[in-house]
Amino acid sequence: MAPPGIRTILFTANQIRDRVGELACEIDKDHRPDEPVQVVAVLKGSFVFVADLIRAMRTPLTLDFIAIASYSAGTTSPGEIQLLKDLDSKIEGRPVLIVEDIVDTGHTLHYLHNILGARAPKSLRTACLLTKPSRRAVTAPIDYAGFEIEDRFVVGYGLDYREQFRQLPYIGILDELTEPLR
């Protein structure tokens, strides 16, 4: 049974674990076993996903974090992105894997591809746990996607609503939202 506040459980912890394992296998197939991939986790939402994903991967890797803030319509122009924390490491000549929690309009991923692509990595791929294709506003290249979902606001497994629900081991839809999202 879902806890108070959660209307529907979309993906259980077991379903997520299985799918993350499959994604890790796909990623391993596309990367060399003798060249560490630079994993770039996008804070904060991807922190649970990346922790599970890297432990399921066999490819050697290094891990870094990048933090961005995106502003939706109503505050500033839609799709406006601000870089809050840049990488600590150089990615020039390295295979790079961006790890995102969810791709919605695609603005965040589009922005990350532009700024990281400009640093001349050897390759630049993206893994996201969730994608909402019906919401896409800009082209955002995704190489590994966990689950396609409809236009619903989801929480859990790292994803929040006003900083809550990140700790849930599953992904669910909220009962009702106290504030509009967009």
Residues annotated as catalytic are: 104
Q: How far is the CB of 35 from ligand 5GP (least distance, A)?
A: 28
Question: Where does residue 93 rank: exposed (0-12), middle (13-18), buried (19+ CB within 10 A)?
Answer: exposed
Among 31, 38, 45, 66, binds ligand 5GP (CB under 6 A): 45
Q: What angle do CA 101, 68, 151 make, to 5 degrees?
A: 40
Confirm or reject binding of residue 159 to ligand 5GP (CB under 6 A). Answer: yes
- Residue 144 β-bridge partners: 127
Smaller CB separation from ligand 5GP, 15 or 70: 70
Q: Hey, what amino acid is at 24?
A: A
Tokens 């986790």, located at residue: 41
List the interface residues with ligand 5GP, window 57-76 (CB under 6 A): 70
Segment lying near ligand 5GP (by CB under 6 A), choices 2-10, 24-32, 89-97, 102-110? 102-110
DSSP labels, 65-108 = EEEEEEE-BTTBSTTEEEEEE--SS--TTSEEEEEEEEESSSHH
Secondary structure of residue 128 in the 3-state scheme: strand
Under the binding rule (CB under 6 A), the answer on residue 104 touching ligand 5GP is yes
Rule CB under 6 A: choose which of 155, 168, 171, 174 binds ligand 5GP.
Answer: 155
Query: Judged by CB, which is closer to ligand 5GP: 50, or 155?
Result: 155
Enumerate binding residues for ligand 5GP (CB under 6 A).
45, 70, 100-108, 153-155, 159-161
